[in-house]
Structure 1
Amino acid sequence: MGSEGLHERYINPYTDFAFKLLFGTELNKELLISFLNALLHGEEHIKEITYLNSEHLETQERDRRAVFDIYCENEQGEKFLVEMQKGEQAFFKDRSIYYATFPIREQAIKGSEWNYQLKAVYTVAILNFVFDDKDDDYFHHEVKLVDMRTKKVFYDKLTFIYLEMPKFNKTEYELETMFDKWMFVLRNLSRLMERPVALQERVFERLFKAAEIANFDRRELIEYEDSLKNYRDWYSVVSTAEQKGRKEGEKKKQYEIARNLKSLGIAPDIIAKTTKMTLKEIAELNTSPSGDE
């Protein structure tokens, strides 16, 4: 098996293999440090991180297990959960809250007195979907606990950051900050055929070297191709479901228009031309408000 079956030069970061290769390995942890510093706008100057156990069990074996994509802490002991979510899940916000409880609870000091002082916990979710379609420009959501009356932060040690990647549409020539550049790389990496001129920082030299498929050994190539296949299969299933939903919605709208026209006494041939329905379908329409086809 070789890379001749792959047309891209660089890996797709939305695959499990690629995401963990770039951000979840000791060899490439400078990439994660750079990304987190860019994401936090300089509020945290992270110099070092330590990867932690990404698989956690609840207090009893029968309890639900949590598996994080990337779980690490910085030199101050602050915890970071970094997740890549390919598609929208039911209750994905609830999932973020649930996962955040693990790095909170594990800080409890067992076997001695503890005053409940906690280190900060950050949950970062890179989303390959849109969950807020009210504002096309609002893609960087930073969520904290606030006092609803004063609108001031009530507790600053728990932060949830959601990045809606499909909304980020800056071109290479519009990139200004390191955050912009990281967003551009994550959004476009698998479509690039060479390293953009705007990404000349040393960390991106490291990233493009790590992401180049031609540098993979046989084992890495097999793992990546398997991961890519899983991603494409998932994407196909989601796309098919979306198309089916749109078609069903269009058909329902079509029938509703035809029903209204028929109730107004419009000739069937005119209704047929307007809605692209057959005369037989129009004849069978129930014009009562509660009528179902």
Structure 2
Amino acid sequence: MRYLDPRADLTFKKVFGEHPDLVISFLNALLPFDDDNRVESVEYIPTELVPDNPLKKNSIVDVRCKDQRGRQFLVEMQMIWSEEFKQRVLFNASKAYVRQLDKRENYDLLQPVYSLNLVNDVFEPELKEYYHHYDIVNVEHSDRVIEGLHLVFVELPKFKPHNFSERKMQVLWLRYLTEMGDAREVPKELLDNPEVKKACDILEESSYSPAQLEGYEKFWDIVRTEKTYFNSARKHGFAEGRAEGRAEGRAEGRAEGRAEGRAEGRAEGRAEGARDEKMRMAKKLKEIGLSNGQIADTTGLTVKEIEEL
């Protein structure tokens, strides 16, 4: 029997966007809650956050819900990292926080917003930890926190289930995300837990229609295309930057000139190379059939730039 990858858009939303018991277990395992603050029930709310300015693109998250206290949870699976993703996460969380009130209500009614982001890429290579929790804190006294926004990022490639007893459910859910990709059988430890077993059963290929499976394969085609273009842009930018930097440095013939030439050349080369690759990627994603908004999220280009292609 074949199991689909839970990180795909189709499966991730089906598992955590249609089964309250599973998203409750997932949130309690991955968010920094003690026993007194655990999520007990959830209500799904629309995932589309429409911007105040109608000229700006909508911002989409995979799963959005609130619990019995009114706390909101935004859950997103991100396959490829880009620095723009941080700003998108902050935007979505801030928008959800602000929209809790209208002009007649008091600020003390505001409830926290938790943004949980599973990233299938490494974006903090210098840090050994896979789990990153961001709050609004006093720089000199980090124990002084302004409640409201809580951002959590998980680097899935860094996760290694070394200690199974520590935060057992977190380990199980992260194993589910990292080990069930197109698996033929389910690890026993996942089957032994009722919630994770249920999530595994949802991934059975036989549960999906031909149209859904076609969309599933198309999703992975898009991911592979994006990765190819991003990697190509990085390599192109570095190579062009080094070449231009060396040329300018030799022409100047001075130590200062060489240093400045290399620095400027690398910067300009990376910028130009990355932009060229973004434009080529956007054209490819247009051919695949993605909307201008989705392409803008993926490439960092503006909708206007994409419309002009």
Tell me the TM-score normalised to structure 2 length: 0.71
Other-structure match for 2:118: 126
Say if 1:9 and 1:212, in contact at 8 Å, map to a contact too.
yes
Q: 1:23 to 1:113 in 2, by over 3 A?
A: closer
Matches within 5 A, 1:67-78: 67-78=60-71
Alignment of 1:70-149 (within 5 A): 70-110=63-103, 112-135=104-127, 137-149=128-140
> Are the equivalent residues in 2 in contact too, given 1:175–1:198 (CA < 8 A)?
no
Aligned partners of 2:203 and 2:24: how far apart in 1?
Answer: 17
Counterpart position of 1:181: 172
Question: Aligned to 2:8, which of 3, 15, 18?
Answer: 15
CA distance, structure 1, for counterparts of residue 109 and residue 68 of structure 2: 17
Partner of 1:222: 211
Q: Paired residue for 1:198, among 186, 189, 208?
A: 189
CA contact (8 A) 1:108 1:116 kept: no
Aligned counterpart, 1:58:
51
Counterpart code for 2:14: L
CA RMSD of aligned residues (A): 3.0
The whole-number CA distance in structure 2 between the counterparts of 1:38 and 1:128 is 18
Shift of 1:225: 2.5
State the partner residue of 2:202. 210
> Could you tell me which residue of structure 2 aligns to residue 5 of structure 1?
none
| 1:152 alignment partner in structure 2 | 143
Please give the alpha-carbon distance, in whole angstroms, between the structure 2 residues aligned to 1:287 and 1:244.
Answer: 28
Residue 254 (structure 1) shift: 9.9
Q: Specify the code of the residue in structure 2 equivalent to 1:88.
A: W
* 2:278 matched residue in structure 1: none
Alpha-carbon deviation of 1:208? 1.3
Higher helix share: 2
State how far apart, in whole Å, the 1-side matches of 2:241 and 2:181 are: 38
Cα distance, 1:61 vs structure 2: 2.9
TM-score (structure 1 length as normaliser): 0.75
What SS class does the counterpart of residue 179 from structure 2 fall into?
helix
Q: 1:252 offset after TM fit, Å? A: 8.0
> Within the alignment, does 1:168 sit opposite 2:170 as a pair?
no
- Identify the residue that residue 31 of structure 2 maps to in structure 1: 40
Cα 1:57/1:190, change in 2 over 3 Å: same
Q: Which runs of 5+ in 2 are unaligned?
A: 266-309
Aligned residues: 250
Identity %: 23
| Aligned AA (1:201) | N
Q: 1:176-213 deviations in whole A, cap 9, x for unaligned?
A: 31101111111111143222121211101211111111
Cα–Cα, structure 1 residues 207 and 149, in superposed 2: closer, same or farther, change >3 Å?
same
Task: Choose from 42, 53, 65 the match for 1:49.
Answer: 42
Write the distance in 1 (CA, Å) between the matches of 2:49 and 2:84: 20
Q: Does 1 or 2 have the higher relative contact order (CA < 8 Å, sep 6+)?
A: 1
